[in-house]
Amino acid sequence: MKLGILETGAPPDGVRERFGDYPSMFRKLFGEQAYDYATYDVAAGALPGTADACQAYVVTGSSAGVYDALPWIAPLSDFLRAAKGEVPLVGVCFGHQIMAQAFGGQVIKSPKGWGVGLHRYRLGEARPWIDADEPIAVPASHQDQVVALPPGATVIGGNDFCPIGMLDYGASRAISIQLHPEFEPAYAKALIENRRGSRYTDLEADRAVMSYEQPDDRLRVGGWLKGFLAQATSGRV
């Protein structure tokens, strides 16, 4: 399967050199040989010519906000609306937010502040690509949140801090998650240290780093995303 990675941002300087870019993180999560990958630097103005240029798409994270006046936000939103229901879509963090906004939901900079560190989500309704309904612990790094559901979307995961943390768009063959299964703990901790004193206080940074002493479920969730893509492209979702 040809999987398009819609790259909407990049790790900060000083971290990217050690851990690579977001497309490389997804290739590592899914497996380098799992798909025929095609990467589109959306933030630089690159998008597929048509939705059927790939059999499915993943939208990455970004430091941008979906409400920012950036020249690439509207074209990406238009592309996602055109692709919805035509090919499977997966959104992660910013990808979760831009899909929700493009499809009629609302995203804001949350007054709750930053969600950073290993976050635990409760799961709701079962899905054929989810192995069990046990809670998941996956890296988080976000201040923006989806606060109003798009039409036709169902919440299937979240917590008290981020109630709309995972969405399923049903027959439209699209899912999204606010968490970052592609973030290895070493990268997540390096990102926190890069932002210590600017985005996070020392106390917030210390707590977030300490959270990675616990085991995580990022590979389990990565398997869910692969399972969804397999079932969605075969028409079994």
- pLDDT bin (cut points 50, 70, 90) of residue 132 is confident
What digits encode the pLDDT tens for the residues 216-229? Answer: 999 999 999 999 99
At residue 125, the pLDDT reads: 82
Q: Select from 118, 102, 115, 109 the least CA-distant residue to 187.
A: 118
- Least confident interval from 82-91, 121-130, 178-187: 121-130
Question: Are the C-beta atoms of 217 and 177 separated by less than 8 Å?
Answer: no
What digits encode the pLDDT tens for the residues 57-74? Answer: 999 999 999 999 999 999
Phi, psi of 223 (to 5 degrees): -65, -35
Please check whether the domain covering 2-233 is classified as CATH 3.40.50.880. Answer: yes
- Which residues, 6+ apart, have CB-to-CB distance to 42 below 8 Å? 6, 7, 8, 72, 76
- By the 10 Å C-beta count (0-12 exposed, 13-18 middle, 19+ buried), 228 is classed as buried
User: Is this model's pTM higher than 0.95 or not?
Assistant: yes
Question: Are the C-beta atoms of 182 and 222 separated by less than 8 Å?
Answer: yes
Residue spans of the domains in the chain: they are: 2-233
Q: Catalytic residues, which ones?
A: 93, 180, 182
Spatial distance between the Cα atoms of 189 and 186, rounded to a whole number of angstroms:
5
